[in-house]
Amino acid sequence: MDDLLRLADTDFSSRLILGTGGATSLLALERAIVASGAQLVTVALRRVDVTTPSLMEVLERCGVRLLPNTAGCYTAADAVRTARLGREAFGTDWVKLEVIGDERTLLPDAVELIKAAAQLVADGFVVLPYTTDDPVLARRLADLGCAAVMPAGAPIGSGLGITNPHHLELLREAVTCPVILDAGIGTASDAALAMELGCDAVLLASAVTRAQDPTAMAAAMRHAVIAGRLAARAGRIPRLTHAQASTPGHPTW
Amino acid sequence: MNIVILNDTPREVVPDQTVAELLSELVLPARGIAVAVNGEVVRRGDWPTHHLRDGDRVEVLSAAQGG
């Protein structure tokens, strides 16, 4: 029973995408990636620091596909430039587009995000934009030709989970492209909930890399995403206000 | 000699030095490198033919944790 995640022209058997921020060491990161089963891992681009060991080597060892991101960009121009640098560095047209609006919330700047997405789609990129849980903005991004939309469940690194599940459901209904919950996940049940609400995948970093035991949490996330996906497809029972006996009648003897 | 600003640090280069020649002088990860000169991306295929000028701002970037 294949239930693959299709992004652009590529199929993934894992619906968990891992960020690399927050890991205390490359060894911890490598173990977490392996335990998570993730096949797609997002990386930032920074000025070379030859004093630190190579992240690239670790990621190549893990055999994961790289998803360059534009983390730390505050304007469309900066994000587009960073995306182009990422394409050069990693030889991929894929980009996790982040255009941050303010430092305190790290939430996206919708105006700059739309501008950057339009330009990158026109440039031939496979654009995966980090967005808010606003269904209208998500539809605009999808209409521009983004390969998926990636709404935040809560601010990056907050671990608050999905603060507005209803919005996420509305967003899910608003677009036909894949929806990837990106940011806010705190623990495994948050990831399962995202999938139960109809998301196609979950992208997380801090919940794993900053957990007391990142490897164990990575395994928990792997299972949570699978469980949530299965539950979403299985169809939950309706919520009732009163009990409904699972065994009708009463015993007679 | 010319001076370029490499990742915010002045560095001497020979006149007409190319991006590829500059990179070959640096200790860099084997893969995952991107270069911008004066804010413009220099594509990998142009590294051997892109000559640096005195005062150019060169950024050399590589994969980092984040996002």
Set out the domains of chain A in order of their start, with CATH numbers.
12-234 (3.20.20.70)
Cross-chain CB nearest to A47 (options B41, B61, B66): B61
pLDDT, average across residues A78-98 = 96
**Pairing mode of beta strands B2-6, B33-37:** unpaired
Mutate to test the interface with B, among A45, A75, A97, A208 (most CBs of B within 10 A): A45
Residue A37: Cβ within 10 Å count:
18
Q: What is the largest CA-CA distance in chain B?
A: 39
Quote the strand ranges of chain A, DSSP E. Answer: 5-7, 10-12, 16-19, 40-47, 65-68, 94-97, 126-131, 150-151, 180-182, 201-204
* High-pLDDT (> 90) share of chain A, %: 88
| Chain A hits for B43, Cβ within 8 Å | 88
Q: Is the confidence at residue A94, as pLDDT, over 60?
A: yes
By annotation, the residues of A acting in catalysis are 96
Closest residue in A to B58 (Cα–Cα) = A47
Kindly give, in sequence order, each residue whose CB lies less than 8 Å from that of residue B54, ignoring residues fewer than 6 positions away. Answer: B2, B3, B4
Alpha-carbon gap: A236 to the closest alpha carbon of chain B (Å): 33
Please give the angle made by the CA atoms of A198, A199 and A205, to the nearest 5 degrees. Answer: 145
Per-residue pLDDT band at A57 (split at 50, 70, 90): confident
Q: What is the DSSP letter of A212?
A: S
pLDDT digits (tens, 9 = 90+) for B8-60: 899 999 999 999 999 998 888 778 899 999 999 999 999 999 999 999 999 99
Whole-number pLDDT of residue A205: 96
What are the phi and psi torsion angles at A239 (to 5°)?
A: -80, 130
- ipTM of model: 0.88
pLDDT digits (tens, 9 = 90+) for A190-218: 999 999 999 999 999 999 999 999 999 99
Whole-number pLDDT of residue A160: 97
Strand partners, A65: A40
Closest residue in A to B32 (Cα–Cα) = A89
pLDDT, average across residues A217-237 = 97
SS3 B41: strand
Distance from the Cα of residue B27 to its chain's centroid: 12
Which tokens hold the place of A214? Answer: 């990142």
Per-residue pLDDT band at A53 (split at 50, 70, 90): low
Cross-chain CB nearest to A56 (options B29, B35, B39): B29
Is residue A48 less than 8 Å (CB to CB) from chain B? yes
pLDDT, average across residues A118-141 = 98
